[in-house]
Amino acid sequence: MHKTELIAALDTDTLKSAENLLKKLEGRVKFFKIGSVLFTAEGPAAVDLVHKHGGKVFLDLKFHDIPNTVKGAVRNAAAMGVYSVSLHLSGGAEMVKACAELEKRPKLWGITVLTSFDEYGLFRAGYRCGIAKTVRNLAALGLAAGADGVVCSPLEAAALKKEHGPGLKLITPGIRPQSRGDDQKRAVTPAAAREAGSDFIVVGRPIIAAEDPAEAAAAILEDLK
């Protein structure tokens, strides 16, 4: 049976609120995402905090720059001991390759099309061949250049697994147990993400903004079974 792991996004502004959340999720969630919100406020101390609580870190800083710069950032992320980092595959094959060549490095998870995009938004951003094809193209480029996993919406997951095989690691944000009517346009439920073949689901607000984050995480884990 295919297993889907929950990554909770620590999208908080302070170490204190991040630690509160870690404590509430203790025993349930072991994998945490640190993104630009917490990292710009607290820096590497946020990574240390998760490690101190025995958790694994996905450092989601969505790198997108010239190859040499991104390679330097990934090298520094490796020194922090994070499990994985994200890079925008639209940064190009050379950028991904420069990072993949690092001897000691975290897993490279390549972002295709953000889950906040719908067809119209992507078209306006200049991508003229539609979400499905853009995701396919970027995933193929990233995997050929050495990416270890692909970040996409669960809606594109099945097609990517079909094309690249069941061994492809898929990381899917845009998870909504219930519709929230927010910025995530290509959102699905945890169960639908698992059925589509997601290896990791990334969940932020449905846990963080819940009255009882532990209960919200437990319900999501139940849905993943």
Q: Minimal CB distance to ligand C5P: which residue?
A: 204
Residue 63's SS3 state is strand
Instruction: Report the interface residues with ligand C5P, using CB under 6 A.
Output: 9, 11, 35, 60, 111, 114-115, 151, 173-174, 184, 202-206
Residue tagged active-site, from 3, 16, 23, 62: 62
Number of other residues whose CB lies within 10 A of the CB of residue 107: 15
Closest to ligand C5P by CB, 89 vs 145, is 89
Residues contacting residue 128 through CB under 8 Å, at least 6 positions apart: none
Helices and strands (H, E) in the chain, number of each type: 11, 8
Q: Catalytic: 62?
A: yes
Measured from the CB of residue 78, what is the shortest distance to ligand C5P in angstroms?
20
- Beta strands (DSSP E) in 25-139 are 31-35, 56-63, 84-88, 107-111
Closest to ligand C5P by CB, 92 vs 190, is 190
**The tokens of 168 are what?**
């492809």
Backbone angles phi, psi at 28, to 5 degrees: -110, -50
Measured from the CB of residue 214, what is the shortest distance to ligand C5P in angstroms?
17
Measured from the CB of residue 103, what is the shortest distance to ligand C5P in angstroms?
27
DSSP 8-class letter at 111: E
Closest to ligand C5P by CB, 39 vs 123, is 39
Measured from the CB of residue 173, what is the shortest distance to ligand C5P in angstroms?
3
Closest to ligand C5P by CB, 92 vs 177, is 177
Provide the annotated active-site residues: 62
